[in-house]
Copies of this chain bind each other. A is one copy, B any other.
């Protein structure tokens, strides 16, 4: 439960807001590289943090991310001609490079001299992990790029996905910092059937949170057998990443999942995912059981709130608990039906929500520290050993603790819990 004020601070991401200012200090995913696959290809409209932008790949393969509207008379550059190392507005032919500089203004007699004065909003981009990343903050404060483990892996072993989620980013994040829901919502058999996986057998894991310089990690500990415990360690990386641990068993025992929730605006979110596996290629078709063609051309789910997720009441009785096809759609169903912006003043939290509470406090504290004292969050520290930060699943003797068994990466120090 949050106050009206805290909920507002947590969820509003516009340019003038404390959280908007915090998020703009990070590099984050802007769109899939495949959306602007071809040099001189079709530009893509992209909405990020409430700003309307256009992405395009120029003749040299560089990706530009500009204000969607031409600085001249504000027509959409997404209609523009992408050619000869720049994007040309359909209206008067003004042309812009990936750096936002005006290269040509054919309707102006002053020519190059005129162009030199014109520059449109352009955010830097970087391509990694099949995704175009951007930084939307003050140019002079651009941080180091986060060299996450999966970003250096071959495209066969680390595959990105993008799904539109019709709600605020914060409740989307929270849905994945929630080990407890996995054994309920994603239960692959009817409710009355005993579960198959460890986390279905024991719905009440013990949650232990450990604050770090980049955010937090928490272990969901369950009894495995009389001698051993089972832990799933989720990494929660500021501002909006969750690193989900692998199953630890079965055919995809080393496959890990990364979730990233980039605010499209206050009421919609780009859910970016990567699956990665160091031991074998990702089976894209198998992927998650979303059932084939499940997204439209705008990345919206075909099973969505308008058709009530095509929930199948018969299946709930005989086949699976939720009656909704696909793990992602299941997650989005509960998040989206919380409303466009979850009213956290009406919640009743339990002990299973301890990690959610921790993440909220961290993020609120970081936004306020920046707004009030200009403090940069430690998650932006260039010395953080990103390649070693990962989620894990482990079975270990009950005489030990999971923190001993899976120590923090070298260079990641503990942080104090934020006070609320």
Contact = CB atoms under 8 A, between A and B. Distances in A.
Interface of A: 41-42, 69, 71-76, 78-79, 81, 83, 88, 90-93, 105-110, 114, 118, 174, 180-181, 183-185, 191-192, 203-204, 206, 308-309, 311, 313, 316, 321-322, 324, 330, 333-335, 337-339, 342-343, 346-353
Contacts of A204: 106-109
Contact of A92 (B181, B191, B335): B181
A189 to B, nearest CB: 13
Contact of A79 (B83, B91, B334, B349): B334
Contact of A74 (B42, B75, B316, B343): B343
Given A81-B316, A338-B73, A350 B91 contact: no
B337 A118 contact: no
B184 A334 contact: no
A353 B71 CA distance: 13
A239 B232 CA distance: 57
B184 A349 contact: no
Contact of A338 (B74, B106, B309): B74
How many of these chains are in the complex? 3
A75 B334 contact: yes
A244 to B, nearest CB: 17
Contacts of A180: 92, 107
A90 B316 CA distance: 11
B81 A321 contact: yes
Contacts of A83: 191-192
A123 B53 CA distance: 45
B42 A313 contact: yes
Given A74-B339, A351-B110, A352-B107, A92 B333 contact: no
B346 A72 contact: no
Identify the 3 closest CB pairs spanning chains A and B, nearest first.
A76-B337, A107-B180, A75-B334
Contacts of A71: 346-348
B110 A338 contact: no
Nearest to A117: B348
A407 B192 CA distance: 61
Given A73-B353, A346-B69, A107 B338 contact: no
